[in-house]
Structure 1
Amino acid sequence: MNPTARISTAERLGHRIGRGLRAYVRGERRVLTWLAPKRMPVPAATALLWIVKLTALGVLFYVAFWFALVLLAAGVAGWAMAQQQSAEDGFELQYPTIEELRATPGYDPNLYNDTSHEMYHDD
């Protein structure tokens, strides 16, 4: 058995989040104590901090809404493309044989590099 206790990644992440939250609360208190000597009432300073928090939350929700909407539109477009039946389904490209080409009107053996044809001219 190992005598040293190991901290898991989840516990380490929890400690970091806790330290960040405590630092945020200290910063709020620092702002409140900075605004108090400037003759701002404490309730007004607290309201100002709440307005800033709610504005940041609103901006976050606004960005998240548009991001989710773009992802949803991309998903719907992908689903629609997967459901679309192509006109080329079941279509097999068949190349004509050289005999069929020779039977077409206006056949030019130089265009098809048909060296066995009597009208072929090597330029």
Structure 2
Amino acid sequence: MNTTTRTSTAERLGRAIGRGWRAYVRGERRVSNWLVSKGVPRAGGAALLWATKLIAVALLFYVASWIAVLFLLGIVAAWLGGNSADHDDRWTQQDELRNGEAGFGLYSSGGHRIDPHDPNDPFND
């Protein structure tokens, strides 16, 4: 029996996210201290950092909304393309696939071939 404990994937992921968060907070504190050293009041530096965060989140939402609009337009275009009214309207219930005078294909009830075909095609029986 193995007595060493194994670190789970979730725990490793949580620790990595925690390290990233701590690095971000340290960087933010460093920027805040740099602004204070340049003569900006501490409250002004905090407000500037919050405004920067707010602008970044707003830009992310803006880009995400345009991506969502494009995605929805693509879905609508695909739906309209699949439901177009002209793709099989010229064929009726009496039309059938069979061997006829012009080879195998879609024929009307009157015996005329409906689907496009090339009579010189060597594979057209």
When normalised by structure 2's length, the TM-score is 0.67
Count residues with an aligned counterpart: 100
Greater strand proportion = 2
Mind listing any 5+ residue stretches in structure 2 that lack a counterpart? 103-118, 121-125
Amino acid across the alignment from 2:62: Y
Greater helix proportion = 1
Rg bigger for which structure?
1
- Over the aligned positions, Cα root-mean-square deviation in angstroms equals 2.6
Mind listing any 5+ residue stretches in structure 1 that lack a counterpart? 99-110, 113-123
When normalised by structure 1's length, the TM-score is 0.68
Deviation at 1:95, TM superposition (A): 9.1
Deviation at 1:93, TM superposition (A): 8.2
Deviation at 1:94, TM superposition (A): 8.4
State the structure with bigger RCO (CA 8 A, min sep 6), 1 or 2.
Answer: 2
* SS at 2:5 equivalent: coil
Match of 1:97 in 2: 101
Instruction: Decide which moves more: 72-81 or 48-57.
Output: 72-81
Aligned runs of 1:1-123 on 2, under 5 Å? 1-88=1-88, 90=91, 97=101
* SS at 1:88 equivalent: coil
Identity of aligned residues (%): 50
Alpha-carbon distance between aligned partners in 2 of 1:92 and 1:43, rounded to the nearest angstrom? 81
